[in-house]
Structure 1
Amino acid sequence: MKFITKTGFSLLITVAIASIPLIQAVSAQSSQLNTRQKTWNKAQLLHQLDLYSLYPSDSRNCKLSPVSQAISPNSRFLAISSHDYERSCGSGTSTLTLWDLPTGKKVATLIQGKATEAFWLERNLAQEPVEGNTYIAGDIAHAVAFTPNNNQIIAGLSNGTVKVWDVKTGQIAQTLQGHRYAVHAIALSPNGQLLASGSSDQTVKLWDLQTGKPLHTFNLNPSNGIIDRLIMSSDGQTLVSATTTNKIQLWNSQTGQLKKTLFNSDRSPGSYHPIALSPNGQLLATSDKDNSIKLWNLRTGSRFLTLKGHTDKVQSLAFSPNGKSLVSSSNDNTIKFWNLPTNKLEHILTNIGVTNPHFSQPSINRIVFSPNGQTLAIEALMPTSNPVPVMGIKLWDIQQQKIVFEAPETFSLPGVQFSLDGQLLVAVAPQTKIWQASN
């Protein structure tokens, strides 16, 4: 590695009743995390969660796939959606489970149902349009989020509904109905009152989360692909939507009006432009098919800056918590640090990941900042004793300008996430690992 400095889905939901009092017991008995532990120089493995334990025993011979994850704002709970479906293998089961982070105990099973390919579903239970029949369907929670007050967990489901559970009891509090096909993306306003859901029916719906009533519906053109990402601005005024064909649009979340279409890319589905929103909600960063990065004014939708330098597809974008830096990773095996006040390229990290000679796979996947902005988590291909490299985790210390921790871990999307208190790092995988920061 080199460091270069420069200037210039019918739903079968079973709530685990036996787990309900366990949630309360865990809440009463869990020890608090040591808030004085703030560095990642000597990360400690706190827990390992075996997702295979949620499935029939024959699933261990099959591929177990995490789908989505979320950590509660108070850093107490982890929600994981996964399935074990693989053609000619496994039982075709899906789950959405809730885990207590300090103890590593599963406290509730919110969903335990079926998983299969959308193509094999009965016609009267179609969850995806014809062009979307390659998706995994059944009882899948495609997108998961906690409300800001930590009291509820929300999931966008393959049967076209959005369900809301009470975290303390594990009971369903609301079911929001209105979408025709699967819900693939959700986003919450900062005050937790407004919910956006994006579906394969090519609509985005805005809901009043307190009443469960729909407020607005945004309709996309049939040629624009399936909505797979939603981001709400920090002031709750603007919703950013992105599709599988990279149509990126800005919507007024109060009036339901389209503000601006930023991209309508001809890039093939699945090869999407990453997007990132600045902490102050004023800037949106996107990549483009020419490998550049574009910065947009979220209020006006105008583009005011293009950053060039990557020689291959930009894989991930992340703003630092203070909003002063933008970091980009690329298939060119570099990570670039951009200084936003000066619009200059400050640093380049090279050769972070290794190449996979057996598959076409990016050497660097996602990058995520710790809440204090001092650590950058990097998903990178790492060599092992086996011939095939695996995706692992590297932590780059911003001040020390070096890798301070690395762990080869076989994991898949949704990948790595820091808890909001900055004390935990979670890597969701069949064997999900939770590390804790230490002195």
Structure 2
Amino acid sequence: MKPPLLALALGVAIIPGLAHAQAEEIDAGIESPGNQVFLVRNDRGVMQYDTRTTNPGSGPNDLSRTNLGPYMPQLTASFSYGGVKYLFLRTGQYVGLDANSENVVQRLSYIDNNNWPGLAPYGNKIEAALRFKGSTILFFLSDGQYIEYDMAQRNIAFGPIAMNAITLPSLQNVAGQITGAARWDNNRAVIFLRGQRHMWFNFRGVNASGLPTPNFGSQFAQPQVFAGGYQGGYQAPPVPQYQPPVPQPQWQQPQVWQPQAQRPQWQQPPVQQPQFQQPVGSPGTINRLTNKLNYTADTQTLAMRPDSHRIATGGWDNTLSIWDSSGQTLVHAVAISLQGRGDLLLDTAFSPNGQRIVTGSRQTGNTAEVTVNVWDASTGSQALILQGAPTGFCQSVAYDPQGLRIAAGCFSQTTGNAMVRVWDANNGAQLFQINGVDGPVTFSPDGNLLASASGATQEINIYNSRTSQLLQTLQGNAVSGIKKAVFTPDGTHLVTGNFNGTVTVWSIPTGQIVSSFSGHAGPVNDIAINRNVTRIASAGEDGRLILWDSSTGRQLSSYNGPKPLRNVLFNPDGDVVLTGGDENIIRIFAD
């Protein structure tokens, strides 16, 4: 029997005949070729799944007589990479098996700096493992932290760091409760929790979808009876003090796709009409997809110059691309590599005059890198040095509407501290720092107010943007954390996109919630408001783009995409909507 790969399809499907079965705790998932996955229970029974369906195959099975047998009693985590199944044991050891034959190709050894550089101090803390993007492996630790390990470079790329609303959104409340994990396909996995529960995990959004779900009554409801238990105590095979590492071709020739920082091919096919001219259609609806533009990387950020003649995009390719959109065809005008300034572009914003652009990115591993930078939007050269510019995880940046100040919301990967910093946009001098909040950050239209929140809280603070004085705190008990915030053009209201899938409109004068719209099945990643405040657009983790009537909360129209959407914006006239996300496509809609 060949153990398979673990992860799960979205949604919960009831398995016929198992509605009353009692589920066991899941300790590990083993992925194998042939669209199979094995879930290892705490009684060492193993359930076999076909990843092409939501139905389980045979099981519970006994793998004690297979090549996996000697390792099953102490197995705590597993993943496959480069044709090798890696099994991690509670004893702080690991073994590598050929993915097809299951013959040992890397002998049982302790996790040390010879075979897993940097991972040795955490070998006894590993609770689960997932093959993530490219050559990255996620190790979930028993203390609630996690590590991103780069198999190609053979080192820790990121962490160990706590799971929170910035690093792993939606998993912060289950930190320390993870018992196992398994990859299902290229887009998602399943995380198993204590108490016979599970959560879906989106690779592209790097977050969990929804709340923990009981295994009972789901596709993970499994028969309790298992007659193949192990007899006697487990005796681990003897381990020598040092095992010379076996050559590992997967580190020389990774077989998993890695994002390549290449020039996006947006020139073909050409745009058939000026995308920002007034088209004919029914006002108030997204009724025409005017263009679909292929992009080379998951789009984490999308911005438009105030005159709409330039568009900026970026994401997992760690390159800021600026496109000329003034003619019939989008032309790639400037490409700015962020090499040495992070490994993921998270947010960007044009200055009001369109001459500069500020970026926020994520630090690469434990190497200190400046992750808030200001660029010349025409040449791509660095335009301004920000005093005391932060390192770490900077997910939100903003220019004030007068172009006088720059704000960034950041999170330190080493200290765990959250902070918002504000600089003079002309000379780069730091004006002040606000501790305890990390974004999203946004300025009011007159530039006098600065709003910021922490993604883990259900409140957002309003500050004097010149003095940092806290003026107001907006509190709501039904938002489950705030992902995005935007002032209305008249400055009287603040609109937020929330982790629980709602869009909330807050009154600035009263501090009260005016209205709340529900329509997304997961976090609202971005929102936009048109110039005359008649419509709100929201982009969600569920792949939906929704256009709302801002006064009634009625859904005017929607688009259902196959993968999470990260960004949405209106053009200045409000008759065109752009959105991007994990599908590597920028879509342009028009009324």
The corresponding residue for 2:26 is none
Q: How does 1:286-325 map to 2 (within 5 A)?
A: 286-288=452-454, 289-311=456-478, 312-325=480-493
Match of 1:395 in 2: 547
Match of 1:33 among 277, 280, 299: 277
d(CA) in 2 for partners of 1:95, 1:236: 21
Measured in 1, the distance between the counterparts of 2:449 and 2:320 equals 36
**Does the 8 Å CA contact 2:319/2:336 hold for their aligned counterparts?**
no
Q: How far does residue 196 in structure 1 lie from its aligned partner after superposition?
A: 4.5
8 Å CA contact retained: 1:292, 1:306: yes
Kindly indicate whether residue 332 of structure 2 is the aligned counterpart of residue 157 of structure 1: no
Shift of 1:243: 1.5
Q: Offset at 1:408?
A: 0.9
2: distance between equivalents of 1:205 and 1:31? 30
Look up the match of 2:588. Answer: 434
Extract unaligned runs of 5+ from structure 1.
Answer: 1-8, 55-63, 86-92, 111-152, 161-178, 266-271, 355-361, 382-389
Please name the residue that 1:280 is paired with: 446
How far off its partner does 1:307 sit?
Answer: 1.0
**Cα 1:182/1:77, change in 2 over 3 Å:** closer
Q: Distance in 1 between matches of 2:481 and 2:559?
A: 25
1:364, distance to aligned residue in structure 2 (A): 3.0
Shift of 1:404: 0.7
**Does residue 48 in structure 1 map to residue 48 in structure 2?**
no
Asked whether the equivalents of residues 205 and 218 of structure 1 are also in contact (C-alpha less than 8 Å), the reply is no
Q: Note the 1:41-190 alignment, pairs <5 A.
A: 41=285, 43-51=287-295, 65-75=298-308, 78-81=311-314, 96=321, 98=323, 105=329, 107-108=330-331, 110=332, 156-160=336-340, 187-190=349-352
Matched to 2:529, the amino acid is F
Instruction: Select the structure that is richer in helix.
Output: 1
Separation in 1 of the partners of 2:398 and 2:320? 25
Q: What displacement does 1:377 show?
A: 0.8
In the alignment, the residues of structure 2 paired with residue 232 and residue 76 of structure 1 have an alpha-carbon distance, to the nearest angstrom, of: 18
Indicate whether 1:415 and 2:567 are aligned. Answer: yes
Q: Contact (CA 8 Å) 1:229, 1:241: kept in 2 or not?
A: yes
Correspondent of 2:526 among 359, 366, 374 = 366
Query: Is the partner of 2:283 in helix, strand or coil?
Result: coil
Q: After the TM superposition, which residues 325-344 of structure 1 pair with which residues of structure 2 at under 5 Å, given as runs?
A: 325-344=493-512
Quote the offset at 1:400 in angstroms. 4.3
Deviation at 1:249, TM superposition (A): 1.2
Contact preservation (8 Å) 1:365, 1:379? yes
Q: Deviations over 1:243-275 (max 9, x none)?
A: 23432112223443322221245xxxxxx6322
Q: Deviations over 1:118-145 (max 9, x none)?
A: xxxxxxxxxxxxxxxxxxxxxxxxxxxx
Letter in 2 for 1:158: L
In 2, Cα distance between equivalents of 1:422 and 1:74 = 13
For residue 76 of structure 1, report the CA deviation from its aligned partner.
5.2
AA of the residue aligned to 1:370: N
Q: Paired residues, what number?
A: 317
1:82/1:259 CA distance change after superposition, 3 Å: closer
2:251 counterpart of 1:251: no
Amino-acid identity (%):
20
Shift in alpha-carbon separation, 1:280–1:431, aligned structure 2, 3 A: same
Q: Residues 33 and 102 of structure 1 are in contact (CA less than 8 Å); yes or no, is this contact kept in structure 2?
A: no
C-alpha distance in 2, partners of 1:68/1:282?
A: 25
CA 1:156–1:304: 2 relative to 1, 3 Å: farther
Q: What is the distance in 1 between the residues matched to 2:385 and 2:276? A: 41
Please give the per-residue CA displacement for 1:78-109, whole angstroms capped at 9, x wherever unaligned: 454466x8xxxxxxx98958475885x5x44x
SS at match of 2:387: strand
Match of 1:406 in 2: 558
SS at match of 2:292: strand
Q: Is the 8 A contact 1:369 1:377 kept in 2?
A: yes
Could you give the per-residue CA deviations for residues 159-211 of structure 1, whole angstroms, max 9, x where no partner exists? 24xxxxxxxxxxxxxxxxxx799876654432345555556423655567799
Distance change in 2, residues 1:257/1:31 (3 Å): closer
Rg larger for = 2
Please tell me the root mean square deviation across aligned C-alpha atoms, in Å. Answer: 4.2
Please state whether the residue corresponding to 1:218 is helix, strand or coil.
coil
How far off its partner does 1:416 sit? 1.8
**Per-residue displacement from partner, 1:202-254 (whole Å, max 9, x unpaired)?**
36555677996755442256xx6233432121222221122234321122234
Could you tell me which amino acid in structure 2 is paired with residue 235 of structure 1?
A: Q
Code of the residue aligned with 1:250 in structure 2: it is V
Partners of 2:395 and 2:439 within 8 A in 1: no
Change (3 A) 1:262 1:94: closer
1-side partners of 2:357 and 2:347: how far apart? Answer: 11
Contact 2:360 2:373 in 1 (8 A): yes
Deviates more, 1:235-244 or 1:201-210: 201-210
**Distance of 1:207 and 1:79 partners within structure 2:** 12
Is 1:260 aligned to residue 440 of structure 2? no
34 and 304 in structure 1: CA distance in 2 versus 1, 3 angstrom threshold: same
Superposition TM-score, scaled by structure 2 size: 0.45
- Distance of 2:463 and 2:421 partners within structure 1: 11
